[in-house]
């Protein structure tokens, strides 16, 4: 398997774009990524485009606007792990020598009205599990019981990430919030309050990947050290298998696979983007990723370990909490942040001397996607 | 690149299943394919699942019912080329040594009401191009003008395929129609009549692929000689580029790539499944695949060349015209037919001594998928 690099990344500012089509957002991200990579559109040999809501032919319609040359285009639907899955298909194809230059796109325009999350089985939807906060509420209640984490710590994740987001021009929210504002915001699913839940939104992000020998001399080298995708393991449901919560965790398995593939452990990370669709997710997932021992994330958070300027900055981009969460675009936005950090291009939120970084994303049907990058 | 085989295939009978969920159809196809391959569920290392309409987590939900072990699952949306695209991802992954055993699934439950085909750009939808028969009607009018093909020949495709479908237990329609019935059926889009248009439907098909060294001694060997995916080439639309119809054709380019990769030409084919979403499609696509010279398909059809028992049987399964067309499932149903033919398992519709076969599928966003198999 040969060395694969992320040659360039691009995204649009996430937000609400009632007057734009997803193609517009997608084109903006792609053109940014091509310029960042110093790679021409005509050099792209295959496209993997992640989307959940827009229907058929998403990657084709974006390519059509730029000018489709007839290359293979595969649209990927892997919910919130879609962006990471698209990047992984690029990575694998290039590593295996099938292509030299590939494009990963993640794009989403969130439809109006209540989102019907079809990724949950019928019996789970009947129980209300298709609403994200309900799931996370159960998880965090359990975590508080087992490890003594507090609601203040959960709120501190939001405060930290929203503070970082002020420094990110692509973040949908660039405004700090106080601990009190978070703890007194509207209750969504006990104990999670509104400012502990990320907002969805429209957006696109893209990455150009190539074999190391194709990297332009004008682009800084960021190598893919690992790209892993797992799904949740559980038994035959109709046969009376166990439910998800008791089973080997997808993030823990993905992390183990990623660290083994990369030859790095959590202790080697300089900067990490952790999936914080709910503020509690950063705590629980951060521990599953091995960034600290189980139960230690909250106390370390209080000490500033995960702040910009701390020992291990987590979500320097502001995370989903600041960026908003256009499902399939999120994974590639996280990867874009890590690439900018490793290239020293993250401006006022730069993590000094960052050499190794990781992006972690979950998808509701039971995916976990982890990408480890190094410069 | 190492040798990759289709170890086994399976499908359910295509039809209308108001009382079943797509998971039921998917499981049925997967369990058939595993049994046909003599491969156990736990041997599967990755799943690529094609679907267009069911929302998020389709492959995950099917795997959950059988028992998900946590392997990578990627859902693919490539419209009617989805099944072929899923197979191609399996093929490439195994050929490159990323996995040894993969599963391709194509599954669809057609939603009620008018289908909003989002694979067409807005200006095309405004012009009515999102309705399949309108597109094909323009194409066949042009073909009749340029090559002198006749409406009787178009109708003969339906008659031939519906005759073959009687012999296929998985076909949604197993009843012959007469030339007169086709030519007097309700007009849909001049000159195409109802019985020249395939019906959609619910269904699933699956294929287990593995490296040649993993093939069970109980399964007959069918090697993937080529698996190609192209997209339609056209210029920058907003920049005033040309429209699709004037551009290099996706099927012609895919065929050229597939023949080169396989080392076989159209003259080597013993049996072919051609995408006949409209009866005229078999004529036009058959010629683009090089099965005969441009303009010769109609006359050869009249002579019985493409009949079961003819020189080159086309759509021995009955094609989309008999099977029905559950978008993402169709490509893998075509491939299943070729596998059965090459294994000598096609029963009363067996093409004697078939050694090399091809499946061709289009997808409305501008895909063409071609798979060449050999025993």
DSSP codes of every residue in B156-198: HHHHHHHHHHTT-TT-S------HHHHHHSPEEETTEEGGGB-
Residues 13-32 of B with CB under 8 A from A: 21, 23
pLDDT at B111: 86
Average pLDDT, integer, range A283-308: 98
Pick A64 or B230 by higher pLDDT.
Answer: B230
**Nearest-CA distance A17 → chain B (Å):** 17
Instruction: Write down the residue that tokens 């919130």 correspond to.
Output: A80
Residue B260 CA: distances (Å) to CA of A124, B96, B256: 49, 19, 6
- Across the interface, of A75, A229, A233, the residue whose CB is closest to B72 is A229
Q: What is the pLDDT confidence band of residue A340, given thresholds at 50, 70 and 90?
A: very high
Question: Has residue B238 got a pLDDT over 50?
Answer: no
- Across the interface, of B56, B93, B365, the residue whose CB is closest to A61 is B365
The C-alpha angle B145, B148, B154, rounded to 5 degrees, equals 100
Residues 232-261 of A with CB under 8 A from B: 232-239, 241, 248, 250, 253
Contact B77 A78 (CB under 8 A): no
Contact A56 B57 (CB under 8 A): no
Classify each residue of A49-63 as buried b or exposed e, where b means 16 or more C-beta atoms within 10 Å of its C-beta. Answer: bbbbbbbbbbbbbbb
Residue B57's closest chain A neighbor by CA? Answer: A119
Q: Is the dihedral of CA B127, B132, B135, B137 positive or negative?
A: negative
pLDDT at B363: 87
Residue A243's closest chain B neighbor by CA? Answer: B64
Picking from B44, B51, B70, B87 by the largest number of A CB atoms within 10 A of its own CB, the best residue to mutate is B70
Contact A232 B70 (CB under 8 A): yes
Average pLDDT, integer, range A329-352: 98
pLDDT at A118: 60
User: First CA to last CA across chain A, in angstroms?
Assistant: 18
pLDDT at B244: 47
Question: Has residue A243 got a pLDDT over 50?
Answer: no
Residues 292-311 of B with CB under 8 A from A: none
Residue B226 in contact with partner chain A when CB distance is under 8 A: no
Average pLDDT, integer, range B355-368: 91
Q: Is residue A253 within 8 Å of residue A230, measured between CB atoms?
A: yes
Residues 97-116 of B with CB under 8 A from A: 97-98, 116
Question: Has residue A129 got a pLDDT over 90?
Answer: no
- Across the interface, of B57, B69, B237, the residue whose CB is closest to A233 is B69
Average pLDDT, integer, range B274-286: 97
pLDDT at A65: 87
Catalytically annotated residue among A12, A27, A49, A80: A80
Active site (annotated) includes residue A60: no
Q: At what angle do helices B279-288 and B132-147 cross, to 10 degrees?
A: 60
Residues 26-65 of B with CB under 8 A from A: 51-52, 54-58, 60-61, 63-65
Residues 119-158 of B with CB under 8 A from A: 119-122
Contact B60 A231 (CB under 8 A): yes
Contact A236 B67 (CB under 8 A): yes
β-strand pairing of A271-273 with A356-363: parallel
Query: Taking CB atoms and an 8 Å cutoff, what residues of chain B touch A67?
Result: 234-236, 239, 241
For a pLDDT cut of 70, what percent of chain B falls above it?
A: 91
pLDDT at A132: 78
Active site (annotated) includes residue B80: yes
Residue A83's closest chain B neighbor by CA? Answer: B74
CA distance A16 to A331: 18
Question: Has residue A237 got a pLDDT over 70?
Answer: no
Question: Has residue B248 got a pLDDT over 70?
Answer: no
Question: Has residue A239 got a pLDDT over 50?
Answer: no
The C-alpha angle A7, A11, A14, rounded to 5 degrees, equals 160
Considering only the C-alpha atoms of chain A, give the largest distance between any 2 of them, rounded to a whole number of Å: 57
pLDDT at B116: 59
Contact B89 A78 (CB under 8 A): no
pLDDT at B122: 66
**Three-state SS string across chain A, please?**
CCCEEEEEEEECCCECCCCCCHHHHHHHHHHHHHHHHCCCHHHCCEEEEECCCCCCCHHHHHHHHHCEECCCEEEEECHHHHHHHHHHHHHHHHHCCCCCEEEEEEEECCCCCCCCCCCCCHHHHHCCCCCHHHHHHHHHHHHHHHHCCCHHHHHHHHHHHHHHHCCCCCCCCCCCCCHHHHHHCCEEECCEEHHHECCECEEEEEEEEEEHHHCCCCCCCCEEEEEEEEECEECCCCCCCCCHHHCCCHHHHHHHHHHHHHCCCHHHCCEEECCCCEHHHHHHHHHHCCCCCCCCHHHHHHCCCCCCCCCCCECCCCHHHHHCECHHHHHHHHHHHHHHHHCCCCHHHCCCCCCEEEEEEEECCCEEEEEEEEC
Question: Has residue A240 got a pLDDT over 90?
Answer: no
Q: Which helix (H) or strand (E) holds B101?
A: strand B101-108
Beta partners for residue B209, in sequence order: B6, B102
pLDDT at A64: 87
**Nearest-CA distance A246 → chain B (Å):** 14
- Cis peptide leading into A78, omega within 30 of 0? no
CA distance A167 to A176: 10
Residue A187 in contact with partner chain B when CB distance is under 8 A: no
Contact B119 A52 (CB under 8 A): no
Residues 6+ apart with CB under 8 A from B308: B163, B164, B167, B316, B349, B351
Pick B86 or A236 by higher pLDDT.
Answer: B86
pLDDT at B117: 59
pLDDT at B51: 97
Average pLDDT, integer, range A58-80: 92
pLDDT at B246: 42
DSSP codes of every residue in B222-253: -EEEEEEEEE-EE--TTTT---GGGS--HHHH
- Across the interface, of A67, A92, A98, the residue whose CB is closest to B236 is A67
Q: Is residue B158 within 8 Å of residue B196, measured between CB atoms?
A: yes
Query: Taking CB atoms and an 8 Å cutoff, what residues of chain B touch A56?
Result: 52, 77, 79, 117-119, 363-365
Picking from B4, B40, B52, B57 by the largest number of A CB atoms within 10 A of its own CB, the best residue to mutate is B57
Contact A74 B89 (CB under 8 A): yes
pTM for the structure as a whole = 0.95
Q: pLDDT tens for residues B260-274?
A: 999 999 999 999 999
Q: pLDDT tens for residues B112-171?
A: 765 655 566 666 667 776 677 888 898 899 999 999 999 999 999 999 999 999 999 999
Domains and CATH numbers, chain B: 4-111+197-374 (3.40.47.10)
Question: Has residue B237 got a pLDDT over 70?
Answer: no
**Nearest-CA distance A100 → chain B (Å):** 14
Contact B67 A241 (CB under 8 A): yes
Contact A57 B89 (CB under 8 A): no
Q: pLDDT tens for residues B188-233?
A: 999 999 999 999 999 999 999 999 999 999 999 999 999 999 998 7
Q: What is the pLDDT confidence band of residue A221, given thresholds at 50, 70 and 90?
A: very high
Q: pLDDT tens for residues A74-100?
A: 999 999 999 999 999 999 999 999 999
Q: pLDDT tens for residues B284-336?
A: 999 999 999 999 999 999 999 999 999 999 999 999 999 999 999 999 999 99
Residues 6+ apart with CB under 8 A from A140: A149, A154, A191, A192, A278, A280, A283, A284
- Across the interface, of A70, A72, A98, the residue whose CB is closest to B248 is A70
Rg (CA), chain B: 19
């Amino acid at each position: 398997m040969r060395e694969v690099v992320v040659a360039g990344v691009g995204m649009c500012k996430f937000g609400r774009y009632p007057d734009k089509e997803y193609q517009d957002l997608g084109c903006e991200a792609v053109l940014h990524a091509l310029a960042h990579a110093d790679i021409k559109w005509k050099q792209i040999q295959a496209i993997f485009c992640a989307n959940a809501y827009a229907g058929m032919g998403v990657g084709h319609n974006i390519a059509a606007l730029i000018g489709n040359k007839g290359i293979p285009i595969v649209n990927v639907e892997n919910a919130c792990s879609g962006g990471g899955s698209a990047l992984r298909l690029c990575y694998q194809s290039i590593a295996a020598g099938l292509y030299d230059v590939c494009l990963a796109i993640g794009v989403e325009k969130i439809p109006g009205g209540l989102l019907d999350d079809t990724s949950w089985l019928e019996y789970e939807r009947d129980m209300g599990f298709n609403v994200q906060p309900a799931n996370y509420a159960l998880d965090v209640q359990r975590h508080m019981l087992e490890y003594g984490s507090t609601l203040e710590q959960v709120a501190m994740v939001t405060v930290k990430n929203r503070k970082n987001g002020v420094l990110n021009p692509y973040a949908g929210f660039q405004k700090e919030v106080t601990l009190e504002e978070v703890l007194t915001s509207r209750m969504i699913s006990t104990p999670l309050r509104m400012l502990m839940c990320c907002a969805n939104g429209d957006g696109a992000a893209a990455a150009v990947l190539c074999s190391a020998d194709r990297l332009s001399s004008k682009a800084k080298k960021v190598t893919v050290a690992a790209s892993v995708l797992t799904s949740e393991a559980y038994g035959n449901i109709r046969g009376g298998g166990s439910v998800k919560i008791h089973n080997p965790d997808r993030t823990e398995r993905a992390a183990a696979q990623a660290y083994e593939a990369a030859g790095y452990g959590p202790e080697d990370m300089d900067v990490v983007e952790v999936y914080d669709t709910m503020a509690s997710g950063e705590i629980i997932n951060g521990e599953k990723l091995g960034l600290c021992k189980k139960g230690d994330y909250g106390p370390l958070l209080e000490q500033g370990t995960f702040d910009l300027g701390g020992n291990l900055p987590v979500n320097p981009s502001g995370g989903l909490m600041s960026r908003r969460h256009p499902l399939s675009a999120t994974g590639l936005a996280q990867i874009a942040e890590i690439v900018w950090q490793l290239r020293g291009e993250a401006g006022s939120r730069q993590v000094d001397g960052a050499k190794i970084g990781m992006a972690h994303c979950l998808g509701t049907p039971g995916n976990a996607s982890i990408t480890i990058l190094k410069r």
